[in-house]
Chain A
Amino acid sequence: MGTRRSLVTLSLAFLLLVLTVGLIAAGGVALADEPGVTASEVKIGNTAPYSGPASAYGTILKTSAAYFKMINDRRGVNGRKIVFISYDDGYSPPRTVEMTRKLVEQDHVLLDFAPLGTPCNSAIWSYMNRYKVPQLFVLTGASKWGDPKDHPWTMGWQPTYSSEAATYAKYILEKMPQAKIGILYQNDDYGKDYVNGFRRGLGDKGRKLIVMEQTYETTDPTIDSQIVNLKNIGANVFFDVTTPKFASQAIRKAYEIGWHPVHFLNNVSASVGSVLKPAGLEASKGLVTALYEKDVTDPRWEGDPGVKEYLAFMKKYYPQGDATDGFNVTGYLEAQTMVYVLKRAGKNLSRANIMKVAANIHDLRLPLLLPGVRIHTTPTDFYPIEQRQLARFDGQRWELFGKVYDVSGMSR
């Protein structure tokens, strides 16, 4: 009997011990309030496509990494070096989840900086918010990232598709009140974001001005049929919400069949090299898009100190990258925004404070943003950039014209 009782006691004692150790361990994790931060380092993570169909975007983060390296060479941020861990997710959401969990649970990063891609960010959206890890300045134009109420740990960066569309809408209302607008859009969230923003921008007049909406699926071999319909309905304004291949097709087809509307091309496909050149530079003349970053090849920025600094940086820290590629300008600006937030957070590098600082950026003007474009956030406004300027393609490059449109409040 005695032995049995002592056995029971022993078991109970052991159980208690296990529980206590467990509690201490758990408490230990909870108390380590500043993961990813040591006296000499701050660790930040990222996922991006360095392989696969979207690998062209990878260069954005390569530029950011190079920028952090430059900051480290200049003694880091508040004396801490930035350790930047960027994993390849191949633009595949399941791999984004896997890599992000690795960043958070094994690498113990302070935050996830500029993860790339709408589907990829959607996949980790609730995870990041459940574990309260900042998902900052995500690289996607979807409008869903500015939702501080339900997703206070996630913030976008670039102007959203909706706000870009609203820019075109404002311009059309101002300059072409008699427009007959035909829309072609990709039948998914990306396309609908644009069209919703466009309709909201036009307001009540939209119903009258939009004469036809056509869609396509990414499996469609061509969009000839849709272009023919838009021409035949007599549209004189064409709002073109297509990804690069279809944008090239649309530009060429419209030109071929002799349809010459005022053609608003979404910024997604505004690349001269990979969209306009294949479509034909002559056919591309007169296209209109909206920009927010400086095009470093534009002669008007010759001698601009910001551009000069950027070109020198690219030469020294990322010589294999193409300095004229707009993607690299984005990577540079993103990294600058991140460094700004880390600096402002000062000694308090807790995750909560990082979000607080990110949500209180006031009129930050970075040298590679167009004059008049600024980064501005408040605890209820998680859309950092909300200005754009229109540009027209002159056969060589995008030529800025008109004023800078502020579409604050139209990002959603």
Chain B
Amino acid sequence: MQTFVAQVISGLSTGGIYASIALALVLIYQSTGLVNFAQGEMAMFTTYMAWSMLNAGWGYWPAFVGACLFAFALGFGLERLVIRPLETAPELALVIVTIGLLTIFNSVAGWIYTYTIKPFPSPFPAAPIKVGFMVLNPQDLGVVGVTLLMLALIYLFFHSTRLGLAMRAVVENPVSSRLVGIRVSWMLALGWGMAAVVGAVAGLMVAPLVFLEPNMMGGVLIYAFASATLGGFSSAGGAVVGGFVMGILENLTGTYITLVGTKLKLTVALAVIVLVLLIKPTGLFGRAAVRRV
């Protein structure tokens, strides 16, 4: 029982990590219709930016805001400079471009900051909280809380602001959106910027747990993909739930199914991707794309 509870708690905290990156993936999918493979590396890179600011003597929160602004400019700029020229290209070309960005960010970070791990400060208290036999790490709780907070903000943004409505319209129907006066390409760039900010916050939350290094997001991205697929790429809430489910599922199969053990944990994530795509391609909470013809 004690092991079970401990594994569920540990799964929730790693699930929080997956959920936060999955949220960024889903956000960019919802606002541009694209899957950005470089999402994790962009988050890693902006975390390094925050690290540089902290090293330059900035406080935590100024560096936090600075990294978010940098991330927004980065996402926005990338869309304008790299993605926009390929607007009419097939989706495959865009996928290749984002994979290219992934390797570029990874190598540039390694080149500038080296591959040695760096401790990253946490805004939460360090002392573990003891509840009965359970030990809760405030940073883990923080990751979960911040992810849920971001989810709420995204929901409010898309459902209660005119800008959010315009962004949704652009994805649904770019041509009609343009006809009613929405600046489609600016909306797409805005989507990239916002996803980058969500990624940056995720990076800042994850780095204190896994240490900052250029490959910090490599493994996380795979699990984030599995989470987003499980929850549904068209549902932000679903992606977050998917993240928590993945974290717990991974720990419990690793602990209790001897066949899986710790050696096949990653395989579980990949199996989830394949199974969901085979059985319910839209994910647990996703909507099927219906088009009137």
Question: Which residues of A are in contact with B by a Cβ distance under 8 Å?
Answer: 52-56, 187, 214-222, 224-226, 228-229, 232, 244-245, 248-249, 256-258, 274-275, 277-278
Q: With a CB–CB cut-off of 8 A, which chain A residues contact B14? A: 221-222, 224-225
User: With A232-B3, A257-B128 in contact, do A217 and B251 touch (Cβ < 8 Å)?
Assistant: no
Q: How large is the interface on B (under 10, 10 to 19, 20 to 34, 35 or more residues)?
A: 35 or more
Give the contacts of B1-22 with A (CB-CB under 8 A).
Answer: 2-3, 6-7, 10-11, 13-14, 17-18
Looking at A55, A244, A257, which has the most chain B CB atoms within 10 Å of its CB? A257
Q: Is there contact, CB below 8 Å, between A274 and B116? A: yes
Beyond A53-B115, A53-B214, A257-B135, 8 additional contacts (C-beta under 8 Å) are A217-B266, A221-B18, A225-B10, A225-B251, A228-B3, A244-B116, A245-B213, A256-B128
Which residues on B are within 8 Å of A, measured CB to CB?
A: 2-3, 6-7, 10-11, 13-14, 17-18, 110, 114-119, 128, 135, 137, 206, 209-211, 213-215, 218-220, 222-223, 250-251, 254-255, 261-263, 265-266
Among B7, B135, B215, B263, the residue within 8 A (CB) of A225 is B7
20 intermolecular pairs with C-beta atoms under 8 Å apart = A55-B114, A55-B115, A215-B263, A217-B263, A219-B218, A220-B266, A222-B17, A222-B209, A222-B210, A224-B10, A224-B13, A225-B10, A225-B11, A225-B251, A225-B262, A245-B117, A245-B210, A257-B135, A274-B116, A274-B117
Contact of A52 among B110, B219, B262 (CB under 8 A): B110
Instruction: Point out the residues of chain A lying under 8 angstroms from B7, CB to CB.
Output: 225, 228-229
Q: Are B211 and A56 in contact (CB under 8 A)?
A: no
A221 touches B220 (CB 8 A): yes
Known contacts A52-B110, A220-B266, A225-B10: does B211 contact A232 (CB below 8 Å)?
no
A256 touches B137 (CB 8 A): yes
Which residues does chain A contribute within 8 Å of B223, judged by CB atoms? 221
CB of B56 to closest CB in A, whole Å: 20
Instruction: Tell me which residues across on chain A come within 8 A of B11, comparing CB atoms.
Output: 225
Q: Say yes or no: A249-B219 contact (C-beta < 8 A), given A215-B262, A256-B128, A257-B128.
A: no
Are A219 and B222 in contact (CB-based, < 8 A)? yes
What residues of B have a CB within 8 angstroms of the CB of A218 in the complex?
A: 219
Task: Provide the bound-state CA to CA distance between A75 and B220, in Å.
Answer: 55
Question: Which 4 pairs show the lowest CB-CB distances between chains A and B?
Answer: A219-B219, A278-B119, A232-B3, A225-B251
A207 to chain B minimum Cβ distance, whole angstroms, is 17
Cα of A274 to Cα of B114 in the assembled complex, Å? 12
Whole-angstrom distance between the alpha carbons of A385 and B255 in the complex?
39
Chain B residues in 8 Å Cβ range of A219: 218-219, 222, 266
Which residues from B are CB-within-8-Å of A222? 14, 17, 209-210
Q: State in angstroms the CA–CA spacing of A224 and B250 once bound together.
A: 12
Please, which residues of chain A bring their CB within 8 A of the CB of B206?
Answer: 221
Complex contact A228–B115 (CB within 8 A): no
Contact between chains at B213 and A56 (CB < 8 Å):
no
| B254 pairs with A249, CB closer than 8 A | no
Chain A residues near B214: list those with CB within 8 A.
53
Q: From B14, which residue of chain A is reached at the shortest CB distance?
A: A222
Chain B nearest CB, measured from A281 CB (Å): 11
Q: Is the CB of A228 within 8 A of B117?
A: no
With A232-B2, A249-B210 given, is the CB distance from A225 to B117 under 8 Å? no
* Distance A330 CA – B266 CA, assembled complex (angstroms): 36
- With the chains together, A342 CA to B268 CA distance in Å? 54
For the complex, what is the distance from the CA of A408 to the CA of B128, rounded to whole Å? Answer: 45
Known: A220-B219, A225-B7, A225-B11. A56 touches B266 (CB 8 A): no
Q: How far, in angstroms, from A245 to B116 measured CA to CA in the complex?
A: 8
Pick from A56, A215, A220, A277: contact of B261, CB under 8 Å: A215
A220-B265, A257-B128 given as contacts; is B115 within 8 A of A56 (CB)?
yes
**A217 with B265: in contact, given A53-B110, A53-B115 (CB under 8 Å)?**
yes
Contacts of B17 in A (CB 8 A): 221-222
- Does B255 contact A225, Cβ atoms closer than 8 Å? yes
B210–A56 contact, CB under 8 A? no
One of B6, B219, B251 near A221 (C-beta < 8 A): B219
**Which residues of A sit under 8 angstroms from B128, Cβ to Cβ?**
256-258
**Which residues of chain B come closer than 8 Å to A229, judged between CB atoms?**
3, 7, 255
A249 in complex: contacting residue of B211, B215, B218, B220, CB < 8 Å: B211
Expressed in whole angstroms, the Cα–Cα distance for A216 and B211 within the complex equals 17
- Cβ contact within 8 Å between B211 and A278: yes
B251 neighbours in A (Cβ, 8 Å): 225
Is the CB–CB distance between B254 and A225 below 8 Å?
yes
Report the separation of the CA atoms of residues A316 and B208 in the bound assembly, to the nearest whole angstrom.
Answer: 40
Q: Which residue of B lies closest to A52 (CB)?
A: B110
What are the residues of chain A within 8 A of B218 when measuring CB–CB? 219
A54 to B255, CA, bound (A): 33
Q: Report the minimal beta-carbon distance from B193 to chain A, rounded to whole angstroms.
A: 26
Q: Which residue of A lies closest to B2 (CB)?
A: A232
CA distance A232 to B135 in the complex (A): 12
Partner of A256, one of B114, B116, B135, B219: B135
Given known A220-B265, A278-B118, contact A228–B10 (CB-CB < 8 A): yes
A244 to B213, CA, bound (A): 11
Report chain B residues within 8 Å CB of A244: 116-117
**Interfacial chain B residues near A225, Cβ < 8 Å:** 7, 10-11, 14, 250-251, 254-255, 262
Evaluate contact between B262 and A216: CB separation under 8 angstroms.
Answer: yes
Q: Chain B: which residue is nearest A255 at the CB level?
A: B128
Provide the residues of chain B in CB contact with A249, threshold 8 Å: 210-211
CB distance from A210 to the nearest CB of B (A): 15
Rounded to whole angstroms, the CA-CA distance of A362 and B17 in the bound complex is: 55
A192 to B199 CA separation, bound complex (whole angstroms): 36
